[in-house]
């Protein structure tokens, strides 16, 4: 688990399922299916350099998820993924807060 609260990262889960590494950060819970929220998240995925928004198995929790092959993972790419998530949260936090209220 990774904590970088200055970047808005809290309880970032790191999992290894050879041959891949998985990063998952819980963002918020969808209180109801809202096409406006889902459309906005999908559109925002286009801007994210590393990773993307995704839904959990129940379709209730919005998470940030990033996967990469371990064999190709360097420290720079790992840091890049963390920085990408931090940047995403800092730029998009107002909308995330609004979405979490719906």
The residues near 79 (Cβ < 8 Å, ≥ 6 apart) are none
The residues near 93 (Cβ < 8 Å, ≥ 6 apart) are 8
Q: Among 6-10, 19-23, 75-79, 93-97, which stretch is predicted with the lowest mean pLDDT?
A: 6-10
Domain regions of the chain by residue span: 2-101
Q: What is the CATH number of domain 2-101?
A: 3.30.1460.10
In the block, tokens 């999908």 appear at: 42
Predicted confidence (pLDDT) at residue 72 exceeds the cutoff of 80? no
Residue % of the chain over a pLDDT of 90? 56
CA distances from 86 to 6, 33, 35, 62 (A): 9, 26, 25, 16
Task: Give the model's pLDDT for residue 1.
Answer: 86
Predicted confidence (pLDDT) at residue 60 exceeds the cutoff of 80? yes
Confidence class for position 19, pLDDT limits 50, 70, 90: very high
């Amino acid at each position: 688990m990774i904590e970088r609260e200055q970047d808005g990262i809290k309880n970032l889960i790191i999992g290894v399922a050879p041959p891949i590494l998985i990063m998952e950060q819980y963002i918020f819970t969808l209180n109801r299916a809202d096409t406006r929220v889902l459309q906005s998240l999908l559109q925002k995925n286009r801007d994210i350099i590393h990773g993307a928004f995704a839904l959990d198995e129940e379709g209730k929790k919005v998470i940030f998820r990033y996967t990469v092959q371990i064999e190709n993972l360097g420290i720079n790419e790992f840091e890049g993924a963390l920085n990408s998530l931090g940047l995403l949260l800092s730029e998009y936090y107002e909308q995330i807060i609004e979405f979490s209220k719906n």
